[in-house]
Amino acid sequence: MAKRPVLISMGDAAGIGPEIVLRALRERPALRRDVVVVGDMATLRRAASLGAAAPDSAEGGLVLAGLSEPAQLAGLPPGSVGVLQAGEPLAPPPWGQVSAIAGRAAAAAIRLGAQAALEGRARALVTAPIHKEALAAAGEPYPGHTELLQAVAARHQGVPVTALPVRMMLSAPGLATVLVSIHVSLREALAAVTTEGVLETIRITDAHFRRTGMARPRIAVAGLNPHAGEGGLFGREEIEAIAPAVQAARDQGIEASGPHPPDTVFMRARQGAFDVVVAMYHDQGLIPVKLLGLEHGVNTTLGLPFVRTSPDHGTAFDIAGTGRASADSLLAAIDAAMLASPA
């Protein structure tokens, strides 16, 4: 039994999160020795009744056991799934509907899991999908996981949020991309393409890959404009912001190159020319990765003082409660978290 488990926050109670968490633990029973689910017991019991995650039974089913802290995983009966209650117990909200109740419960699970990781009581946090509208309906000021986790970590360290820069990395087999900006409008994303912002992203990316054992990661930096600006014909961001950031990174011993034309750099990375691509904004970086398939994609937050991963898909309200959701991307996220964090 793990002394420091991987925690999995259950996600939005009205979405597929609780269902795929339990499905993952049913499909791979050995994970139950190393994983604690953070969420609401009643919501998880409802998910356990679905066909995708069979109800409790003596033969291969799921026995949910309440915990008061992650360390109690070691004392559970063999095969049990440890559940850490986050916030007040819920009357599970209807499947597939935006709900402030679900948003509040999802945020509570994220905070509880992050705090345990920050205090060293968990080795990593894997987060099941949340719904941004539900989060907003609950009064949360953060547009997504990344920003919420950044705020929790900064508060724990007693520093301003700006002193703890984080970045989103999305990866699928053969391609990884890190974003300069995340959940902002395209107009705001363009304004975020500064020498300082691009250089900080390159540094955070390099540090992450070195921590995972890659001595000298090859970082390709995408341009912003078509053909990387064509020497200023299609925009000057490459000349005035991106190229100086790449040169500054190289001066610091980082193997960065670019700016590369954004319409071909992802293909070249997938062919093995680079280990990771730094993209200038959300859709530029995520469309290529998601095109490879959501079933194996993993979202990793770089720059946090603990390991956090998540599946590369949303709450899938259209199929929530049907038992049809796949746990493949969540399993990939759990594997990635375990690989990146010591037991």
At which residue do the structure tokens 């995340």 appear?
182
- Domain 174-288 in the same topology as domain 6-163+302-340: yes
Sheet with 276-279: list strands edge to edge.
63-67, 80-85, 35-39, 6-9, 124-127, 307-311, 298-302, 167-172, 175-179, 276-279, 219-222, 256-260
Q: What is the pLDDT of residue 61?
A: 64
Tokens 């699970």 locate to 109
Specify the CATH number of the domain 174-288: 3.40.718.10
What average pLDDT does range 274-291 have in this prediction? 95
The predicted structure's pLDDT at residue 143: 86
pLDDT tens-digit profile of 8-42?
999 999 999 999 999 999 999 999 999 999 999 99
On the 0-12 / 13-18 / 19+ scale of CB atoms within 10 A, 46 is: middle
**Which single residue is written with the structure tokens 């990781």?**
117
- Provide the pLDDT confidence category of residue 51 given band limits of 50, 70 and 90: low
Specify the pLDDT at position 54: 44
What rounded mean pLDDT belongs to the chain? 92
**What per-residue confidence (pLDDT) applies to 286?**
93
pLDDT recorded at residue 293: 76
Q: Decide: helix, strand or coil at residue 307.
A: strand
Look at residue 294 in the predicted model and tell me its pLDDT.
67
CA distance 168 to 305: 14
The pLDDT of residue 211 is 87
What gap in Å lies between CA 179 and CA 156, rounded to an integer? 25
- pTM for the full predicted model: 0.89
The whole-number pLDDT of residue 2 equals: 61
Domain boundaries, the chain: 6-163+302-340, 174-288
How big is the CA angle at 40 (ends 28 and 123), to the nearest 5 degrees?
55
pLDDT (tens digit, 9 = 90+) per residue, 119-149?
Answer: 999 999 999 999 999 999 999 999 889 899 9
Q: What is the pLDDT of residues 289-343, one digit of tens each?
A: 989 876 788 999 999 999 999 998 899 999 999 999 999 999 999 999 998 887 7
Q: Which CATH number is correct for 6-163+302-340, 3.40.718.10, 3.40.50.2300, 3.30.1490.190, 3.40.50.2000?
A: 3.40.718.10
Q: Which of 179, 186, 185 is nearest to 165 (CA)?
A: 179
- pLDDT at residue 1, rounded to an integer: 53
Using CA atoms, how far apart are residues 240 and 190, in angstroms rounded to an integer? 13
Task: Between 110 and 77, name the one with better pLDDT.
Answer: 110
DSSP string, 219-272: EEEE-SSGGGGTTTTT-SHIIIIIHHHHHHHHHTT--EEEEEPTTTHHHHHHTT
Strand, coil or helix: what is 5? coil
Written as six digits, the tokens of 186 are 């395209």
